[in-house]
Amino acid sequence: MARPKPPLPSRARELATGIENPSEQLSIYYGLWAGSFVRGGELAALREASSAALELANRYPGTGEAAVALRMHGMTDWYQGDFANARIRLERALAAFDPKRDGDLAFRFGQDIGVSIMNYLALTLWPIGEIGRARELQDAAIARAGETGHVATTAYAASYRSIFEMMRHDARAAEPYAAQTLDLGRQHGLSLYVGYGAVLSGWVRAQLGDRSQGVAQMRDGLDSLRQQGFSLITPLCYASLAVLEAELGEVDSALVTLDRTLAEIERTDHRTFDAEIHRIRGDILLKRNPANPSLAEAAFLTAIAIAQAQKAGSFGLLAAFSLAKLYLSTARPVDAHGVLAPALKGFSPTPEMPEIAEAQALLAALEVGADS
């Protein structure tokens, strides 16, 4: 009888045993980690592989390998919604990255590691409320990708810029990058980017007016990703699809989409967008039954609690804004003020997140009402 393969933690260590070259060791850890990361593997397996890589990085500081290992660890933190630790490790990875020294690592690890670090750091900083720097990092990632001349890096940067804009709910800003992702995927036979490009381009199309065809394109792209076994970022994509389904009047289908997404999150522990999914679920529950807002209220409270636990202030503000509007519509202005005021602390208005100014205007109106 053939001996079963050991689980990934011992498998990673086993494969690296006897290999002294740190670059070769890192390649083993990275390969095992990347497979689980993009395909929704067990979090424990991701942790083990990234921790083994980090041990290696600590022995060889000031190297490209150290930057890769720190990136792996930070991205694993981000995957589970641990934004505070993700920020620390990704900042360290960015500091360790040397654009000249580490340029050739793109051919070993699929894309330029500097671009990847900046993309994920931006996706970490926006949720915790560092909105301006998140945008700066996204701009820097696009510029760096253009300098590399590496097709896979260019497609990677374009897709993550589109994802960043989807997270911000800005379809117009996402439009050129979504189109570039799909075009590069088709031109170079990159099936991953064909799938993501279809999802992102479909979302843009739907948001900019062509609802039904855009939703159909998103569904096709998500089917393609599912058939390929890719689950990374898909919770955000499915949540965005559910919003559009509800706008088309397919409220029950939208809730089914979200319930399936939540079940998939439980399977994979990919918890980056948990708060947003519960917020969106609350919005859709309220749309389905505005006369009985208790289920929507519970969903918004869940979203706020998750955001607070994850220190994701931006996601928390969005959920608090939705809940405050619900309270106001049900003649509970004191409760609306009570949930919105703490959520707005530390935020200043910015075009990068227009909801801040909208929430501040609502809070000001509530305070005027309380004084009159």
Q: For residue range 115-154, what is the model confidence (pLDDT) as tens digits?
A: 999 999 999 999 999 999 999 999 999 999 999 989 999 9
Residue 347: both structure tokens together: 């935020």
Query: Does 3 score more than 50 pLDDT?
Result: no
Q: Could you tell me how far CA 168 lies from the centroid of its own chain?
A: 11
| Crossing angle of helices 211-228 and 234-247, rounded to 10° | 150
Residue 59: both structure tokens together: 């022995």
Measured CA to CA in angstroms, residue 182 lies from 168, 192, 196, 222 at distances of 20, 10, 7, 13
Residue 172: both structure tokens together: 């117009």
Region of poorest pLDDT, from 88-92, 103-107, 278-282, 342-346: 103-107
Q: What is the pLDDT of residue 2?
A: 38
Q: What is the pLDDT of residue 19?
A: 60
Q: What is the pLDDT of residue 13?
A: 54
Mean pLDDT over 327-354 rounds to 95
What distance in Å separates the CA atoms of residue 302 and residue 160, rounded to the nearest whole number? 27
What distance in Å separates the CA atoms of residue 317 and residue 350, rounded to the nearest whole number? 14
Q: What pTM was estimated for this model as a whole?
A: 0.91
CA-derived radius of gyration, the chain: 21
Region of poorest pLDDT, from 16-25, 187-196, 347-356, 361-370: 16-25
Q: What is the pLDDT of residue 24?
A: 78
Q: Enumerate the β-bridge partners of residue 353.
A: 350
**Environment class of 323 (CB within 10 Å of its CB; exposed 0-12, middle 13-18, buried 19+):** buried
Query: Does 314 score more than 70 pLDDT?
Result: yes
What distance in Å separates the CA atoms of residue 269 and residue 221, rounded to the nearest whole number? 22
The widest CA-to-CA distance across the chain, in whole angstroms, is 81
Q: Which residue has the higher pLDDT, 2 or 67?
A: 67
What distance in Å separates the CA atoms of residue 219 and residue 81, rounded to the nearest whole number? 25
Q: What is the pLDDT of residue 41?
A: 67
Q: Report phi then psi at 55, rounded to 5.
A: -60, -40
Q: What is the pLDDT of residue 368?
A: 81
Closest of 323, 338, 333 to residue 365, by C-alpha: 333
Q: What is the pLDDT of residue 372?
A: 57
Q: What is the pLDDT of residue 237?
A: 97
Query: Does 15 score more than 70 pLDDT?
Result: no
DSSP 6: P
